[in-house]
């Protein structure tokens, strides 16, 4: 005895699951909507600035992390974050926008800074970089 509405709900659910799994396939880059409150994204952003400072060989560091303003993530072997970051240049005292790419391998407790560079953007972020 099959109830048509239950069949419909089940099919809708399956269709939705399918769409969800398709959008989560490795290689797909998705925008992080809750950047401001996303602790993982903000922590990864802070890490990228600290790592940049460390690689510069300057203990105090040329940059001070302010916040991540935009982020996209991509499933690779781990999670790859594409971040737009505000940081203070301690030399000039200016707030500058930087772009960072970080790969997080949580199971290895490992983060890798792939890229860190000044962004062309200086003020309000209106469009994604990538
Ligand atoms: C910080 O500002 C100084 C002076 O404008 C500049 O020479 C330096 O490259 C800047 N550092 C970074 C990391 O942007």
Q: What is the pLDDT of residues 36-61, one digit of tens each?
A: 999 999 999 999 999 999 998 865 67
Give yes or no for residue 91 CB within 6 A of ligand 1. yes
Residue 62 token pair: 């040329």
Q: Where are the alpha helices (DSSP H) in the chain?
A: 4-23, 39-55
CATH of the domain at 98: 3.10.450.10
Confidence band of 20 (pLDDT split at 50, 70, 90): very low
Q: What ligand 1 atom has the least distance to the C-alpha of 52? A: 13
59 lines ligand 1 (CB under 6 A): no
Predicted confidence band of residue 5 (pLDDT cuts 50, 70, 90): low
By CB atoms closer than 10 A (0-12, 13-18, 19+), residue 6 is exposed
- Is residue 107 situated within a structural domain? yes
**Is the pLDDT assigned to residue 129 strictly greater than 50?**
no
Is the shortest distance between the CB of 123 and ligand 1 below 6 Å? no
Alpha-carbon span 106 to 14, nearest angstrom: 30
Query: What was the pLDDT predicted at 13?
Result: 52
**pLDDT per residue over 87-114, tens digit each?**
999 989 999 999 999 999 988 889 999 9
Q: Tell me, yes or no, whether 93 lies in a domain.
A: yes
Range of the domain at 77: 39-118
**pLDDT(7) > 70:** no
Asked whether residue 82 is assigned to any structural domain, the reply reads: yes
63 pocket-lining for ligand 1 (C-beta < 6 Å): yes
- For the whole prediction, is pTM greater than 0.85? no
- Ligand 1 centroid – CA 68 distance (Å): 19
Number of domains in the chain: 1
In a domain, 61, yes or no: yes
């Amino acid at each position: 005895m099959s109830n048509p509405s239950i069949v419909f709900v089940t099919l809708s659910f399956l269709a939705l699951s399918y769409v969800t799994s398709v959008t989560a396939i490795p290689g797909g880059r998705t925008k992080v909507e809750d950047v401001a409150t996303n602790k993982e994204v903000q922590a990864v952003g802070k890490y990228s600035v600290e790592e940049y400072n460390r690689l510069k060989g300057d203990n105090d560091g040329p940059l001070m992390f302010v916040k991540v303003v935009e982020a996209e993530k991509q499933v690779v072997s781990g999670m790859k974050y594409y971040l737009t970051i505000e940081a203070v240049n301690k030399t000039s005292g200016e707030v500058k926008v930087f772009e960072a790419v970080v790969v997080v391998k949580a199971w290895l407790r490992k983060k890798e800074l792939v890229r860190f560079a000044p962004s062309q953007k200086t003020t309000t972020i209106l469009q994604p970089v990538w």
